[in-house]
């Protein structure tokens, strides 16, 4: 586990700070196929290795939303909260998938705290940049800004 953020005051104080980087995580064709089954998105670029190679893709490509869905798992290695009431996923901004992820690629996430603002109920809305890099590649798999609201412990 990476950094433990203790309370909303510390969360607010981290603006401009890199929170850390996760471990590498391998993307397998089995995971891509399972994601296709769950989402019912069986487009051939994801699930038909022969056709994907024949079409010049070098093989299948992971769904962008698969990469996005792994961000909570990867970010859990980067930071966790303590001494807060709850942390709530508020949404995403500026989601981009600059480079494809292929089976066998390894990805990891780096998180940076961009800004924080107060919200009703004594909470803090944080905007955190997530960059998912692909091992050995220049362009990242995903770049997004996540929004989370962290509330204090009940009085």
Q: How far is CA 147 from CA 10, 110, 151, in A?
A: 17, 15, 13
Condensed to tens digits (0 to 9), the pLDDT of residues 9-36 reads 999 999 999 999 999 999 999 999 999 9
The pLDDT assigned to 124 comes to 97
Give the domain ranges of the chain. 3-26+62-151
The pLDDT assigned to 69 comes to 97
The pLDDT assigned to 33 comes to 98
**How big is the CA angle at 22 (ends 60 and 132), to the nearest 5 degrees?**
40
Fold category of 3-26+62-151 in CATH: Thiol Ester Dehydrase; Chain A (3.10.129)
Contact 113, 141 (CB under 8 A): no
Show the 3-state SS of 35-83: HHHHHCCCCHHHHCHHHHHHCCCCCCCCCHHHHHHCHHHHHCCCEEEEC
Number of other residues whose CB lies within 10 A of the CB of residue 16? 9
Looking at the whole model, is its pTM more than 0.85? yes
| Low-confidence residues of the chain: pLDDT under 50 | none
The pLDDT assigned to 154 comes to 86
Round to whole Å and give the CA distance between 8 and 11.
5
Condensed to tens digits (0 to 9), the pLDDT of residues 88-102 reads 999 999 999 999 999
Contact 118, 59 (CB under 8 A): no
The pLDDT assigned to 155 comes to 75
């Amino acid at each position: 586990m990476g950094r433990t953020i203790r309370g909303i005051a510390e969360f607010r104080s981290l603006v401009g700070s890199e929170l850390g980087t996760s471990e590498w995580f391998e993307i397998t064709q089995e995971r891509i196929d399972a994601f296709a089954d769950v989402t019912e998105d069986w487009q051939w670029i994801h699930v038909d290795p022969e056709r994907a190679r024949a079409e010049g893709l070098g093989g299948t490509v992971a769904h962008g939303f698969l990469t996005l869905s792994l961000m909570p798992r990867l970010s859990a290695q980067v930071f966790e909260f303590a001494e807060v009431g709850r942390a709530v996923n508020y949404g995403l901004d500026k989601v981009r998938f600059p480079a494809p992820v292929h089976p066998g690629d390894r990805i990891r996430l780096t998180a940076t705290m961009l800004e924080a603002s107060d919200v009703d109920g004594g909470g803090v809305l944080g905007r955190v940049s997530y960059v998912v890099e692909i091992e050995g590649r220049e362009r990242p798999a995903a770049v997004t800004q996540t929004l989370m609201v962290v509330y204090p412990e009940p009085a």
